Amino acid sequence: MLKSNRLLAGLLAVLFVAFLFTIRDVMDQRVVEAGDTAPKFTIKTENGQQIGRSEFPGKLLMVNFWATWCPPCIEEMPSLNQFAQDMKPQGVTVLGISIDRNEKAYREFLQRNQLQFLVARDPEENISSSYGTFKWPETYLINREGKVVQKYIGPRDWTDPKVVNSIRALL
């Protein structure tokens, strides 16, 4: 009986230590904010282009994390698509990174919606996790120096003149 009590106590101690390490890891997760250096990443887009934080063509890189199962993400897609077309000549590159695990749903969405900006899929959520993203959609504006100059949580009307003018001011 005494031996089994010691064994049980040892097991509880090990589980408690594992629990503490898990809590610490969750608490230490970095959440990227405006002013922070954006985590580096490279991803292959649907058109075969390798793009990342450090090799984008333009003055600003807009990274939008989204998913087909996210109603607010889908809601903002038409205005984001229009924004991408309008702002490309001014040096803004839009990159939509889908976190969809369901490749079929992702491909069907792309086929139906003919997005006019760079799109890629990160089903393991490696990139969004490195940014500390846990709400979708979430959008980051990153300058050529790799700094996050603006962060948006939640859907936007990307054609709203106030939003467009605030982004133009960053160019």
Q: Helix, strand, or coil here: 95?
A: strand
Mean pLDDT value across residues 104-110: 97
Structure confidence at residue 20 as a pLDDT band (50, 70, 90): low
81 and 123 in a single domain? The answer is yes
84 and 108 in a single domain? The answer is yes
Structure confidence at residue 169 as a pLDDT band (50, 70, 90): very high
63 and 2 in a single domain? The answer is no
- Structurally, the chain folds into a number of domains equal to 2
The domain in which residue 4 lies consists of: 1-30
CB 153 within 8 A of CB 136: no
H or E stretch covering 19: helix 2-27
Q: What is the pTM of this model?
A: 0.82
CATH number of the domain at 145, please.
3.40.30.10
35 and 17 in a single domain? The answer is no
CA distance 107 to 94: 19
Quick check: 6 pLDDT over 90?
no
59 and 133 in a single domain? The answer is yes
152 and 86 in a single domain? The answer is yes
Structure confidence at residue 90 as a pLDDT band (50, 70, 90): very high
**Per-residue model confidence (pLDDT) at position 26:** 46
14 and 39 in a single domain? The answer is no
